[in-house]
Structure 1
Amino acid sequence: MAAKDLYEKDYYQILGVSKGADSAAIKKQYRKLARELHPDKTKGDKKLEDRFKAVSEAYDILSDDKKRREYDEVREAVKSGRVPPGFNGGGQGFNSGDFSDLFGPGGDIFSTLFGGARQRHGADLQTEASIGFKESIYGTELNLRLSPNGSTPANITTRVPAGIKDGAKIKIKGRGAPGAAGPGDLYVLIHVTPHPIFSRKDENIHVTLPIT
């Protein structure tokens, strides 16, 4: 199959699901169609055999999170004109071959279609912060001042949710290192300072009282 089929074919329409369908809905619909279109039932009907192959092909892409995400990105890039230099929307320059070859040795469809020219997001970064036991129970607001990769210091404010546990991480989207396709994310590792009386085990709070 030619690589251009990846952006010319609407696998959602072929499978009969919406673009926002979750994996369970995709699997359920595929099983339904596979039972209806299986060659054992269609008994040599060429049209239905081709339909069965198309459904299987669509499921191969949409059931794999990585392939599905990259398929969506390719279609969006072609549709909007946001494609790397040298890419021809008419399909010139693509090679034909086995479908699995389209994803390249690393399983990355962009490496095959765009010659490895895919832009990357910046690296994710991590920092640490300590909060008190009471703050971990009721939640609090963290004010951080960071300089990612030596950049100009920036003030970052984020909310610590109530009930957070020691060692948990908070994700702050888009506050990581810069990159060609946008910044990465920032992860804040939370340390909960021990309390002299109260402690937590799972979802329970324990009280330690001195005996006099």
Structure 2
Amino acid sequence: MSTKDYLEKDYYKVLGVSKTASQEEIKKSYRKLARKYHPDANRGDADAEDRFKEVSEAYDVLSDEKRRKEYDSVRSMPGGFRGQQGGGFPFDLGDIFGQQGGAGTQTGGAGERIGDLFGGLFNRGGGAGGTRTTGTRRARRGADVETDVTLTFGRAMNGVTVPIKLTSEAACGNCRGTGAKAGTVPRVCPNCEGTGHETRNLGNFGFQEPCKECRGRGLVVDDPCPTCHGSGRATGTRTIQARVPAGVSDGQKIRLKGKGAPGENGGPNGDLYVNIKVKPHAVFGRDRDNLTLSVPVTFPEAALGGEIRVPTFQGQPVTLKLPEGTPNGRTFRVRGRGATRRDGTKGDLLVTVDVQVPAKIDDQTREALTRLRDAGDGDDLRADLLKQARQE
């Protein structure tokens, strides 16, 4: 858990419960949200995966009575962060943060856990001046990388493996990431003692920031590598094979974990986010997991009913039965002929009727249509429309 979690994250809000919620209410809300955002039900959805992790983290804290009490205590500190002399802390800061020189330093239990939690944020060394945190160099996670992939409609429907060429920073091949010229080695930064960061203290509250001397690397290079100029990083190009699942839609974003920029000092790689762009099809459209299709029909077919053949995507045509008096714009559903869903099932094909009126008619057709027109009463058909139009 990061330093800022207890301060910045409202776990009650994450689970959608009140601060006085019972354990049963917390458990009920968690189960509901976990089912909704579980990765198995939202494959390829990075936002849902992050939401699931957030919900699980909140439940881990609030479902444990002891951790919940600590969490509530930290968030209820009067005035945000005031020392004991300013009054207000419901417990001894020395016990919680393990400060040296304070009364009753605690080395175990809840105090130690909270002390570890806030170790990078609060002053643990005492003294009035700016202090530095000692320790080993921090591992750094690689940066996330984002790229666009354009697919034809068919490849998006069927799924495809595409090569993606990425240009990103990696360890310099000449100095192997040290930043130092061949035959030399960097030295530990004397300012931050190799941690890559330093802490500015304001009483019992401190701000952690990258070391100005080494710019966060933890090392100082006296004789820099001529290739990377001492940064230890160089731009490299690599090609990865990315699997795009069947049924992907235009505008969808796919997350490939660990395929982003390499990490530093043993840190994990970043993630690769692939933005999908799908070229439109000449005949078929998309409506979520369904395919859409507009089919022209003649006026007699719509009026009298009948059977018509309609195409399916990469399959044999199917026969669609039109009932008598089918209106223009009516939509029919053909089950299982749509896009592939995440669970492997398929959406439907939505067929919309487009009644065509002939631009030219022969004498025989004109006579038949005249009889049809005279048999009906157009004014009665529009009577309600004319009546409603007169209303204020």
- Could you tell me the TM-score, scaled by structure 2's length? 0.23
Which structure carries more helix by proportion?
A: 1
